[in-house]
Structure 1
């Protein structure tokens, strides 16, 4: 969902500013599409934007599905979906009603370039994360040749073009075992980026000027980069969950900028011990809060990566005894999934404790909400570094060196500092500057809208038919 949402929002922005385009979204699936997935695509403005779910990839016992990383599962799903994709592209290209001018794929899907080439389609990558991570990935094959040890064992931080130096230990978990098949697949996938005609990235110049300037420098094998962000959802998916309306009603009764929103995205999970510490930390901070709670998982920080339907029906037995009763006057706990856009855009919300997923980060930037950075998996540690040390719109708690646990005392201290301390005032001011910059980038003469127009013009040049709409 973290990739699908910005992709379809990009499609909506394209057709809004360039109404001579139609878009067809082709989505590989692992089993039946989730309720959230179906709701997201069914809300698209057909027929201008329509969608196709490819036949689901069914993993049998021989695949050892439960033991594979999310990246490996995605790779298998893409590979096994190639024949179905070819059938759909053949149908689109053969249609008398469409003129296919570009094939835009998620960056996990570079294998599909070969299929696109069969139909003489121009391929582009859509990169839903930020320019810093993109710069790192493009640099990774070179780094892989230069370094012999594990990245986490490097004594000096790695100098990524245009970005803050990053310690190897802060690379995503995918890159922490260079002998693994997942790592090798990732490097091979990144090498295929050079086959794209261009890379569309969900960021904007004022947020990441250093990385974007570095990416704009011409190099052999490096496609041009198109920053067209921030792309965020216009609103949360519809829900009949009573807790959602209760949540917004509760917010209406709170003072301006007084509530900390705590949520770890569609995939993030905490251990039982960490949930316990977070609960006590919020209580000790004496600050107002809304906490979107998921069932703890001691095995993985991304235990719900492939599912956003982890509803525990408001059973919070895993929370500390008496916590809900003691905090009911200034805190609200809701189950699994919340109306994030509506909460972040609400005047009572004054802070966001986040896993630093890029969708959540951009939503906080658009609405000017300062952050507490709490990364869990994927590229989130790099995002947290950029947000806290480069853009400086986030505070970051310090985990224990031994077990990595963030203690209740540390949580209480950072929460209180963000909401009413001097450091909090500083990050709040800087976030307001970023909010204004994001708004300016999306004006008719803003940098991102100009870049989108440049991209659209390039695609129109690919149009050879003189009838119908482009697709």
Structure 2
């Protein structure tokens, strides 16, 4: 039996093998297990599983990590998808074929052990997991790992507003009005909605999103579809309310671990002692720069960042992945700056010396900086990041969005200007820091005992229990 006298549920969380998907899945898995007493299994592709658990005896070996078990499925690319080598459209078809077959085998294996799954939770880009669950007579729910505002943008695009958006897609300035959302410029919408080229990758991703929303349009034995969202009521309540008129939505965020995790990334931590270096810096003085796990930072942008950071005169910690470093590129380091290939971001953002986060505005990074109370300079790259930057700047007031040039590069002078606004002693910086503290407190309240997110998690568990009877 689980808590509150309910039958124990067994959730299988299925994640796309990317850092930005796996992290929120692992965090919600721990929360489901610890708060509700549910049995939880996580499944990502073999390539991601191998990196998470390099000491496992075999690539598909089940791993027990505390209250959560891990069993990988195969997407047909067990050595990982190689950007620029493998064909993205072929991968899109192969993950459906291989993923469906191997995920089905996992469900059979668990049932044979007396651990029957009662609900499949799937993330973005994996709509085929719904069909696998249905074939096994198992309930399913979408775990939406982007903000509710982005969910609403996609929903309206697939429900009659696609022509409004595509008509203006080549001009970033026009404002579009979508139901129940503030006015949004084209440049503030997710990139997959406004891509104008015949880019097969963008098209396949948009097709995947369309398939996800097609699944949500289908009733579950006469009941509305279920969606868990990594957001919270006081953050996006005005957007969540109209969505709840259409489906069962449970805001259970911010899904950020209470304790700083170690060894949970797909990238190896840099051996430099960056935390000790941060210890030597005054409070709120360090500029932390990171564009996440996927965005490719090219040489022209790197050179502008180097110049901008140097001219700002502020100490900085910069995450520049090894795959973004070109031969002959000199990165100045010393007492005033440190460049690392990867770091424990939550640990860095929690450090008192960090005064600003120059970020790509991925939703995980956005929630982490919000939870830690660090102002931002937004430099969105793609996907939901443009909308997230708009939220941080214009709605939450937690930072500024930097302006890039026609080549999409953030100039050194603009970086320097933004840092001065956010970290300076002027009225703008002071106002941003007050908003940051306010949202930090609201985020803390959202996940405390008896909080809105905890109540929503229990409501979700109750809904699953009702649908399983």
TM class by shorter chain equals 0.7 to 0.9
| Cα deviation 1:370-407 (Å, max 9, x = unaligned) | 1110111211111111111111111122122x323221
Q: Contact 2:107 / 2:117 at 8 angstroms: preserved in 1?
A: no
Aligned residues of 1:136 and 1:161 also touching (Cα < 8 A): no
Contact 1:203 1:227 in 2 (8 A): yes
Partner of 2:11: none
Gaps of at least 5 residues in structure 2 are 1-18
- For 2:322 and 2:367, locate their aligned partners in 1 and report how far apart those are by CA, in whole Å: 26
Matches within 5 A, 1:48-197: 48-58=67-77, 66=85, 68-69=87-88, 73-74=91-92, 76-95=94-113, 97-144=114-161, 146-147=163-164, 149-153=166-170, 156-175=174-193, 176-177=195-196, 181-182=203-204, 183-195=206-218, 197=225
Matching residue of 2:303:
276
Q: 1:290 aligns with which of 311, 317, 325?
A: 317
Residue matched to 2:339: 333
- In structure 1, the gaps of 5 or more residues are 298-311, 465-471
Alignment length (residue pairs): 431
* Equivalent in the alignment of 1:428: 433
- Give yes or no for the alignment of 1:251 onto 2:278: yes
Shift of the 432–162 alpha-carbon distance from structure 1 to 2, 3 Å rule, reads farther
Any idea what SS the aligned residue of 1:347 has?
coil
Q: CA deviation at 1:342?
A: 0.9
How many Å separate the matches in 1 of 2:309 and 2:468? 56
Partner of 1:376: 381
Given that 1:278 and 1:408 are in contact with CA atoms closer than 8 Å, whether structure 2 keeps it comes out as yes
**Structure 2 contact 62–72 (Cα < 8 Å) conserved:** no
Mark the CA change 1:132 to 1:283 in structure 2 (over 3 Å): closer, same or farther. Answer: same
Are the equivalent residues in 2 in contact too, given 1:162–1:213 (CA < 8 A)? no
Deviations, residues 6-54 of structure 1 (Å, cap 9, x unaligned) = 01110110111112x101112234x474524769999986463211111
Deviates more, 1:232-241 or 1:350-359: 232-241
Give the 3 Å change call, closer, same or farther, for CA 34–393 of structure 1 in structure 2. Answer: farther
Provide the secondary structure at the position in 1 that maps to 2:235: coil
Higher RCO (Cα < 8 Å, 6 or more apart):
1
Deviation (angstroms), 1:141 = 0.9
1:309-339 superposed Cα distances (whole Å, 9 cap, x missing partner): xxx7xx984136xx33xxx22211112x112
Out of 407, 412, 416, the position equivalent to 1:408 is 412
1:59 to 1:7, Cα distance in 2 relative to 1, 3 A: closer
Cα gap change, 1:129/1:64 in structure 2, threshold over 3 Å: closer, same or farther? Answer: closer
Taking only aligned residues, the RMSD between alpha carbons, in angstroms, comes to 3.1
Provide closer, same or farther for how the CA distance between residues 280 and 43 of structure 1 changes in structure 2, counting only shifts above 3 A.
farther
Distance between the aligned counterparts of 1:5 and 1:38, measured in 2? 17
Q: Does the CA contact (< 8 Å) of 2:165 and 2:186 recur in 1?
A: no
Contact in 2 for aligned 1:355/1:375 (Cα 8 Å): yes
442, 445, 448: which one aligns with 2:447: 442
Per-residue deviation at 1:252? 0.9
Q: C-alpha distance in 2, partners of 1:170/1:384?
A: 8
Equivalent residues of 2:254, 2:367 under 8 A apart: yes
With normalisation by structure 2, the TM-score equals 0.83
Please name the residue that 1:28 is paired with.
Answer: 45
The 1:165–1:34 alpha-carbon spacing in structure 2 relative to 1, beyond 3 Å, is farther
CA-CA distance at 1:56 after TM superposition:
4.7
Residue 130 of structure 1: how far off its partner (Å): 0.9
User: How far, CA to CA, are the matches of 1:432 and 1:25 in structure 2?
Assistant: 34
User: Structure 1 length normalisation: TM-score?
Assistant: 0.83
Distance 1:206 1:42, change over 3 A: farther
- Cα distance 1:462–1:191, how it changes in 2: closer, same or farther (>3 A)? closer
1:418 is aligned to 422
Residue 461 of structure 2 is aligned with which of 425, 450, 456? 456
Contact 1:157 1:168 in 2 (8 A): yes
Alignment of 1:229 onto 2:253: yes
Q: Residue 170 of structure 1: CA displacement?
A: 3.7
